[in-house]
Amino acid sequence: MTSSGNSGVPSVRVFRPEKPRGLEVGSFASVTGLSVAVDMDDDGVYETPWVLGTDYQVFPYNPTPGWPYRRIEPLGARFFPGAPQPYLWQAYGYTPGFYGPAYGNGYIWRSKRPRVQVTANWGWAAPPPQVIQACQILSIESWKSKDLTNGVAGSTGISTGSFGPQRGMTMAPSLMNPVALQLLCGLRDIVVA
C-alpha cells in the first residue's frame, strides 16, 4: 500500500502458483483494469488470457466497502498451470511443467518460471482508517518523546538519540505502541511472488 492509496494505474506482477485452485496475489483495489494471463506451456510467454467471471473469480466475493481483493480463484475446469491437479495428480499426471516424480514419495519442481501474470491496480483505493489512526498515535508519541531527558522513549520503539540533540528516529515493530500495532493487525499481506 502506498501512503496515498494506489496510483490508479494498473501494473504487472508475475506469480508461481503453489495451489491449483487459488492464488494469493496481495491487495488490489478493484477489478477495473484487472487481467490474468497464464503460461500453459512453460515457455515464459503468457499466451492464454483468462476472462473474469468465466475463467476466474476474485476473493473475497463481497469485500467490506473500501477493502481490497486479495486472491484469484479459477472457475470450472480451469487450474493454474504448474500446480498439481487436485484428486487427479496420482492417476493422471501433472499440470504441464511443474511437478515430476522424484525418488520415494516426493516430487520435484520441473520449472522455476512464474506461470501467472496479473495486471491490477495494486494496493488499497485509499488508506484505511486504521492506518490513519495508527499514524496519529505514533505521531503523538513521537512529539511527546522530545520531553524525555535520557533520549529513549521507553517501550514505544522510538529513540531520539542519546543525551543531547536528536540524531534521528528509529522504529521497531516489536516495540511499537501496542494500540497502533493492534490497529494495523490484519492489514498486512504476506505474498510470495
Reading the block at residue 144, the C-alpha cell is 511527546
Q: Are residues 115 and 136 both part of a single domain?
A: no
Q: Are residues 50 and 136 both part of a single domain?
A: no
Contact yes or no for 119/34 (Cβ under 8 A) = yes
- Amino acid identity of residue 139, one-letter, is S
Q: Are residues 137 and 101 both part of a single domain?
A: no
Residue 25 lies in a domain: yes
Q: Are residues 36 and 100 both part of a single domain?
A: yes
What letter would DSSP give residue 15?
E
Reading the block at residue 103, the C-alpha cell is 525418488
Q: Are residues 136 and 66 both part of a single domain?
A: no
Q: Are residues 111 and 140 both part of a single domain?
A: no
Q: Are residues 76 and 98 both part of a single domain?
A: yes
Counting the structural domains of the chain, the total is 2
Between 5 and 41, the more confident residue is 41
Residue 134 lies in a domain: yes
Residue 182, pLDDT above cutoff 80: yes
Between 15 and 149, the more confident residue is 15
Q: Which residue range(s) make up the domain with 177? A: 129-184
Q: Which of 111, 79, 116 is nearest to 98 (CA)?
A: 111
Percent of the chain exceeding pLDDT 90 equals 37
Q: What is the pLDDT of residues 89-146, one digit of tens each?
A: 443 344 444 444 444 444 445 567 899 999 999 999 899 899 999 999 999 988 887 7
Picking from 66, 98, 120, the residue at the C-terminal end of a domain is: 120
Q: Are residues 136 and 109 both part of a single domain?
A: no
Q: Give the C-alpha distances (Å, rounded to integers) separating 187 from 1, 117, 127, 134, 181.
A: 10, 24, 11, 12, 11
Contact yes or no for 15/114 (Cβ under 8 A) = yes
Picking from 120, 137, 156, the residue at the C-terminal end of a domain is: 120
Residue 68, pLDDT above cutoff 60: yes
Residue 190, pLDDT above cutoff 50: yes
Mean pLDDT of 160-189: 67
**Prediction pTM value:** 0.67
Residue 173 burial (10 A CB sphere; 0-12, 13-18, 19+): exposed
Picking from 120, 151, 175, the residue at the C-terminal end of a domain is: 120
